[in-house]
């Protein structure tokens, strides 16, 4: 991988950048507009938002004002849990589309697998896709059994599964399942909310490769074929996170990072959440 514009081909032929910006907890208005604008200036071409984040309007403004052709920017948003269900998802999508102020969305995701609702929700996503309002559809925070449930009851499978994934939670079994079924895995919280940056293995590898621990972690994701959406509102950190295309981790480096997997979640468990 040579640049921020490097893409993966989803099973329906749509190209999605491996590297992008997540805007969870980035404030609507000046902050999200400035953050997205700076990211786009630095070469980011994927912006990941959600109805829950309440900043879709700012994301849309920054995209429209960037001067970059719309087709060169990949926009993801998600239906929140309270809006799940067939008709309510169709309505939620139209609300997100209007807030973004865009003609279409590149990827629409089910944010969490709400028990008893995500199959109906998925059917709504299929309809939105078939109507051409979104270029691809997928899921977020789905475990293997959730994916099997969807795939067993629908005509389309998810193109993407966005999950918590980092060296302390490598999700190897889930990644293997998704790989066999041509579902791209995308990591949210790829840096584990900063909680593993001081790990001795990562700091040693950072020194060896003349990079920061965060850059080493993000490079580990990419070399594993995992797409990433690190979040930052700091221009220097946005630049640092994107500066991962001029080095490569060795096989030994990768194995050392793989050894850090202890199954630790810093976010909610998809099989046990109450929101």
Does the residue 201 lie in any domain? no
In CATH, what number is assigned to the domain containing residue 58?
A: 3.20.20.100
Residue 218: what pLDDT? 98
pTM value?
0.97
Residue 38: what pLDDT? 98
For the segment 239-260, the average pLDDT, to the nearest whole number, is 98
Residue 16: what pLDDT? 98
Does the residue 51 lie in any domain? yes
Phi, psi of 269 (to 5 degrees): -90, 125
Q: Which residues are catalytic?
A: 53
Spatial separation of the C-alpha atoms in residues 270 and 110, rounded to whole Å: 12
Structure tokens belonging to residue 63? 């995209």
Chain segment 204-236, per-residue pLDDT in tens: 999 999 999 999 999 999 999 999 999 999 999
Does the residue 253 lie in any domain? no
For the segment 252-261, the average pLDDT, to the nearest whole number, is 98
Residue 12: what pLDDT? 98
Does the residue 160 lie in any domain? yes
Does the residue 204 lie in any domain? no
Does the residue 245 lie in any domain? no
Number of structural domains found in the chain: 1
Greatest alpha-carbon span in the chain: 54
Q: Which domain holds residue 17?
A: 7-195+220-234
3-state secondary structure the chain: CCCCCCEEECCCCCEEECECEECCCCCCCHHHHHHHHHHHHCCCCEEECCHHHCCHHHHHHHHHHCCCCHHHCEEEEEECHHHCCHHHHHHHHHHHHHHHCCCCECEEEECCCCCCCHHHHHHHHHHHHHCCCECCEEEECCCHHHHHHHHHCCCCCCCEEEEECECCECCHHHHHHHHHCCCEEEEECCCHHHCCCCCHHHHHHHHHHCCCHHHHHHHHHHHCCCEECCCCCCHHHHHHHHCCCCCCCCHHHHHHHHCCCCCCCCCCECCECCC
Does the residue 90 lie in any domain? yes
Residue 87 has pLDDT above 90, yes or no: yes
For the segment 129-153, the average pLDDT, to the nearest whole number, is 98
**pLDDT band per the 50, 70, 90 thresholds, residue 2:** confident
Residue 130 has pLDDT above 90, yes or no: yes
Share of the chain above pLDDT 70, in %: 100
Residue 1: what pLDDT? 82
Does the residue 255 lie in any domain? no
Residue 8 has pLDDT above 90, yes or no: yes
Share of the chain above pLDDT 90, in %: 99
Residue 153: what pLDDT? 96
- Mean pLDDT across the chain: 98
Residue 170 has pLDDT above 90, yes or no: yes
Residue 202 near residue 196 (C-beta atoms within 8 A) = yes
Residue 69: what pLDDT? 98
């Amino acid at each position: 991988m040579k640049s921020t514009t490097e893409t993966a081909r989803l099973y329906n032929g749509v190209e999605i950048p491996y590297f992008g910006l997540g805007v969870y907890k980035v404030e609507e208005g000046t902050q999200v507009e400035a953050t997205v604008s700076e990211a786009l200036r630095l070469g980011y071409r994927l912006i990941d938002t959600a109805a829950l984040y309440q900043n879709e309007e700012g994301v849309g403004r920054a995209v429209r004002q960037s001067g970059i052709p719309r087709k060169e920017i990949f926009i993801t948003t998600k239906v929140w849990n309270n809006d799940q269900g067939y008709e309510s998802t169709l309505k939620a999508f139209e609300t997100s589309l209007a807030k973004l102020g865009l003609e279409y969305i590149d990827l629409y995701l089910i944010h969490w697998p709400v028990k008893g609702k995500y199959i109906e929700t998925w059917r709504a996503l299929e309809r939105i896709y078939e109507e051409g309002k979104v270029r691809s559809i997928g899921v977020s925070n789905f475990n293997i059994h959730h994916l099997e449930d969807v795939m067993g009851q629908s005509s389309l499978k998810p193109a993407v599964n966005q999950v918590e994934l980092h060296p302390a939670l490598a999700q190897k079994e889930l990644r293997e399942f998704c790989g066999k079924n041509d579902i791209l895995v995308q990591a949210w919280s790829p840096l584990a909310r900063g909680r593993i940056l001081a790990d001795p293995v990562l700091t040693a590898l950072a020194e060896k490769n003349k990079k920061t621990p965060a850059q080493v972690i993000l490079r580990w994701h990419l070399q594993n074929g995992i797409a990433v959406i690190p979040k930052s509102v700091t221009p220097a950190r946005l630049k640092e996170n994107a500066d991962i295309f001029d080095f490569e981790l060795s096989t030994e480096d990768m194995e050392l990072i793989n050894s850090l997997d202890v199954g630790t979640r810093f976010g909610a468990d998809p099989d046990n959440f109450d929101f």
